[in-house]
Structures are given as structure tokens and as C-alpha cells.
């Protein structure tokens, strides 16, 4: 597995880099055969360190863990435990998912945009309502996979995302799962036509 360890305004020791590499190799070896790459970023916020781990574990499967503590080693341990906890919860389905990928339809290519809302209203139309426009601040390539609802929820949780769009493998329709403010998962499934 290719592991990139970086620091934002933090100097990282060789011992910490070795500990991160060994820890992620252990997690990857325990839960799945071939993780492709991992990016680990350390930063410092006030009096504590933060660690953000993103593991690309195969086509379409991304894991994310965050941790914070008084020192960088403890922050890494916290983030790695988040990833290991999610993997323990989904171990069987992650393994089935990896075996099932060969039989699936190819995912649809898409673009993902991150928008920042402008502070000022740009124009005032004749009806008197102001319109705010957003600015694109990031753009990345992504895919829209064919998944069951439970697989989409698993991926949403593993990647610690707020929302995920997917093709429902049962209906073929575009669906969305999202994390609600109350902590539950919401699912948007467009109504199908009935005769």
C-alpha cells in the first residue's frame, strides 16, 4: 500500500511516519487484501493535534477517519481506531463487496463541485427579490456506482460523508442517501410509475 504522510504547519518525525505506515498496514492486512493508497495529514489546532486519514481501498471504496489529541501519536491512534471500528462493523459486507465488483456494471462518470455562497447579492431583479450566486471553489472527478441501498449506506459511513448519490441496483434509478441532522440516515428514492 502506498502511504503518504504529510503535515500542515507541523514537522513530522521519521518515527511517526514509521508508526503510521505500520499501523495502516496492520489494519489493511486484517480487514482486506489490497488497499491501494492512504493519505494521512497531521495539523495543529490551538493546543492539540489533528489527524485525518483517507484510505482508498479499491474501486469505489474509500474510508475516512479523523482524530484529535494532545500529541500526534495519540491523534493518529484515534483516527485509526475510527477506521478500524467502521471496518469491524462492515467486515462481511466489505469482503462481499470486493468479490462482487467483477459482476457489476461500470460506474457512471460524474463531476463533484464544492460551492461557496457569495456574501453579497449580485443583482436585484425587477420583482425586488435578491439573488445570491455561488462560486465554484473545487471540482473533482467522481463516479455514480450501481449499489444496493445497504451498500450505499455502508459506503456513506465508511467514507464519513454527508451525502451519496448512486444507481439503485434493484430499480436502476438514481437514489441519494444522506446523513440527517438527528444522526439517522435519509434515503431519497424517486417514485416509480405504476400502471
List, as one string, the DSSP characters of 107-162: PEEEEEEEEEE-SS--B--TTS--B--EEEEEEEEEEE-EE-HHHHHHHHHHTT-S
- Return the pLDDT at 74: 94
Same domain, 93 and 134: no
Same domain, 98 and 115: no
Same domain, 50 and 128: no
Question: Residue 118: which pLDDT band, with cuts at 50, 70 and 90?
Answer: low
The average pLDDT across 137-166 equals 87
Same domain, 161 and 87: no
> Which range marks the domain in which residue 96 is found?
2-102
Same domain, 67 and 53: yes
Same domain, 83 and 130: no
CATH number at residue 181: 3.30.505.50
Same domain, 77 and 164: no
Report the SS3 class of residue 189: coil
The average pLDDT across 56-68 equals 81
Q: What is the pLDDT of residues 170-186, one digit of tens each?
A: 888 999 999 999 989 99
Same domain, 115 and 178: no
Query: What rounded mean pLDDT belongs to the chain?
Result: 81
- Return the pLDDT at 61: 76
Nearest Cα neighbor of 52 from 28, 83, 9 is: 83
Same domain, 158 and 120: no
Same domain, 87 and 123: no
Same domain, 82 and 157: no
CATH number at residue 45: 3.30.160.100
Same domain, 16 and 85: yes
Amino acid at each position: 500500500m502506498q502511504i503518504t504522510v504529510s503535515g500542515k504547519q507541523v514537522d513530522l518525525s521519521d518515527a511517526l511516519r514509521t508508526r503510521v505506515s505500520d499501523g495502516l498496514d496492520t489494519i489493511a492486512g486484517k480487514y482486506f487484501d489490497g488497499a491501494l493508497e492512504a493519505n494521512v495529514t497531521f495539523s495543529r489546532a490551538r493546543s492539540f493535534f489533528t489527524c485525518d486519514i483517507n484510505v482508498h481501498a479499491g474501486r469505489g471504496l474509500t474510508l475516512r477517519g479523523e482524530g484529535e489529541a494532545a500529541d500526534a501519536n495519540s491523534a493518529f491512534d484515534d483516527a485509526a481506531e475510527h477506521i478500524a471500528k467502521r471496518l469491524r462493523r462492515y467486515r462481511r459486507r466489505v469482503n462481499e463487496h470486493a468479490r462482487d465488483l467483477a459482476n457489476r456494471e461500470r460506474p457512471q462518470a460524474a463531476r463533484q463541485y464544492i460551492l461557496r455562497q457569495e456574501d453579497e447579492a449580485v443583482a436585484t431583479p425587477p420583482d425586488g427579490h435578491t439573488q445570491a450566486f455561488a462560486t465554484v471553489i473545487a471540482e473533482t472527478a467522481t463516479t455514480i456506482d450501481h449499489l444496493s441501498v445497504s451498500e450505499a449506506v455502508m459506503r456513506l459511513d465508511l467514507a464519513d460523508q454527508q451525502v451519496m448519490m448512486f444507481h439503485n441496483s434493484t430499480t436502476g434509478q438514481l437514489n441519494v442517501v444522506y446523513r440527517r441532522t438527528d444522526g439517522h440516515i435519509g434515503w431519497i428514492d424517486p417514485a416509480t410509475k405504476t400502471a
